[in-house]
Structure 1
Amino acid sequence: MHSWNDHAPIYQQLADQLAAQLLDGDPHEGDAMPSVRALASRYVINPLTVSRALQSLVDEGLLESRRGMGMYVRSGARHRLLQAEREHFLRDEWPRLREKLHRLGLGPEDLRWEDA
């Protein structure tokens, strides 16, 4: 079971988690997403919350709804998501991380990229 936090609505947290899975290639572009019912059962949340999360991903251009067939990953979704995530990291996360590294006196020689 997944634990949700109070920092964002549950539908947004689910959308973020599903987007991270898309970024990892699961499911692949062109493939169907799990059904609303399956996702609601997996995450133990209301199907309406799942629908809202999926609609958020449709609005972002990552998924498309095929009438009577469900939601499918759009072609180019992973690339669009990767670009957006990189931009967000460099704009919002990297400056804070760089500041913390500087404050702790850590430099490139202290970081091990290979162990990731």
Structure 2
Amino acid sequence: MVAVEWSDGAPIYRQLKERVVAMMLDGVLKPGDALPSVRQVAAEYQLNPITVSRAYQELADEQLVEKRRGLGMYMTDGATARLLASERERFLREEWPLVLERIQRLGLNIEELLNPQKKWGDK
């Protein structure tokens, strides 16, 4: 069994959803692939099946997976493109401003950012 550490900072269903999203973005899950069953995930990670169902339902609500009656949940064809678009937008809106602020605070220039292995004294 895979040992998983769940953070106290977010609900477990959301953390599980993010793990599935990461698998999609990393190419572990590809369009048309079946997601592990709710029962399988619940047993493997020692979670309540309702928790797993909630994570899967959010993925379905975002059209990243589709339910096939009697067969399970499958990654949709456009899921990767939708995920990349939303993750890029979220990065630019939420994360990039903080990164940019830190870059400016530290006085880093483009050359230092593109060549981080270059030592400070090697100018």
Please report the TM-score for the alignment, with normalisation by the length of structure 2. Answer: 0.85
Aligned length: 115
Residue identity opposite 1:31 in structure 2: D
Distance 1:27 1:103, change over 3 A: same
Query: Which position in structure 1 is the counterpart of 2:5?
Result: 3
SS in 1 for 2:10: coil
CA distance in 2, matches of 1:19, 1:113: 31
1:13 and 2:12 correspond: no
Query: Which position in structure 2 is the counterpart of 1:47?
Result: 49
The runs of 5 or more residues in structure 1 that have no matched partner are none
Hey, which of these two has a bigger chunk of helix by percent? 1
The runs of 5 or more residues in structure 2 that have no matched partner are 118-123
CA distance in 1, matches of 2:96, 2:115: 16
Q: Could you tell me how far 1:39 is from its partner in structure 2?
A: 1.6
CA distance in 2, matches of 1:34, 1:64: 13
CA distance in 1, matches of 2:40, 2:116: 37
Percent of pairs identical after alignment? 53
Runs of 4+ off more than 4 Å? 112-115
Query: Which position in structure 1 is the counterpart of 2:87?
Result: 85
RMSD across aligned C-alpha pairs, in angstroms? 1.8
Query: Which position in structure 1 is the counterpart of 2:27?
Result: 25
Distance 1:43 1:110, change over 3 A: farther
Please report the TM-score for the alignment, with normalisation by the length of structure 1. Answer: 0.89
Distance 1:112 1:71, change over 3 A: same
Q: Could you tell me how far 1:112 is from its partner in structure 2?
A: 4.2
Distance 1:68 1:113, change over 3 A: farther
SS in 1 for 2:66: strand
Match of 1:60 among 56, 59, 62: 62
Larger radius of gyration: 2
CA distance in 2, matches of 1:37, 1:98: 43
